[in-house]
Structure 1
Amino acid sequence: MTTNTGLAPLQPENVNPLMASLSEPSLPDSISWMPNAPGWYCLLFLLFCLLLHRIYLRVQTYIANTYRRAALVELEQLSLESLTGERASLERLPQLLRRTALYAYPRAEIAPLTGIDWEKWLDQHCTKRPFSSGFSKSELSGVLAQLAYSPAASLTEEKRKAIMENVALWIKHHEVSHD
């Protein structure tokens, strides 16, 4: 019979006596994600400043384009009114287009323009769909002046859709210095 003297714990017979006195090694500290060199802090600060600047520019562009969103909402209302047959909605279309242009460009540049000159100016500031040369001369050339000044002007459904589409594209894609 073996007696326990309290000096050493009882060992099973198949364990190496030299290994019994070893202890488990401690794990190394976890690797920190914070950089050690001060240059990295400068780089992180510059990246943070760049991110803030980009956010600032996006917000400024969003604010500067508020007039576009308002014009598109009004155009949608005019489109719905014209579908119901209200003639006044088509008469307000040139006013909407000119008002939108006045928000984006100086009054002195826009106020003297009428007729074909106005349509050519619209073409110069948005190349997506031209007003003056995009259609045959008999179709929609001069239709803005016709809608603005002639209460008896009538448009077919195709012409109405085409002019609404042109106005919407111009409002969305005209080029301004803040874009």
Structure 2
Amino acid sequence: IADTLNNPAGQIANLTELPLILRHAALRAGRRQDVASLRGRDWIAWLNASSGKTLFDDEAAALIDQLPYATPTSLAVLRDEPRTQKLLDASQTWVREHRAAV
């Protein structure tokens, strides 16, 4: 999962996949019935709780919600925004450090 996020050649495409990557990793780590239905603030709270730290803030939550629907033009702009790098860093940290079954 972290390799997918680190691939600079496909980083724009990977941005749209980031929410799905996090969801798949969470489903493998947690109890499906606890993770599958989480959305919005509840989803972000679960991600933070399973990492033991606050990696994702409200800005990250909004970006996670926006990414699957982003156009190629908006992705090109998002790629260079500091909030996007912050989200990528938080996601990589979460993938490395999260704990199962919060």
TM class by smaller structure: 0.7 to 0.9
On the 8 A contact 2:5/2:14 being kept in 1, the answer is no
Give the CA RMSD over aligned residues.
2.0
Aligned partner of 1:151: which letter? A
Using structure 2 for the length normalisation, give the TM-score: 0.78
Q: Name the structure 1 match of 2:15.
A: 90
1:107 aligns with 2:32: yes
Q: How does 1:1-179 map to 2 (within 5 A)?
A: 71-77=1-7, 79-82=8-11, 86=12, 88-132=13-57, 137=58, 139-148=59-68, 150-152=69-71, 154=75, 155=78, 156-176=80-100
Higher relative contact order (CA 8 A, sep 6+): 2
Aligned residues: 96
- Structure 1 segments unaligned to the other structure (5+ residues): 1-70
Q: CA deviation at 1:75?
A: 2.0
Higher helix content, 1 or 2: 2
- Structure 2 segments unaligned to the other structure (5+ residues): none
C-alpha distance in 1 between matches for 2:23 and 2:82 = 23
Deviations 1:101-154, CA, capped at 9 Å, x for gaps: 11111211111011221111111111344213xxxx4x4342111113x22454
User: Identity over aligned residues, as a percent?
Assistant: 28
The 4+ residue runs of structure 1 with deviation greater than 3 A are: none
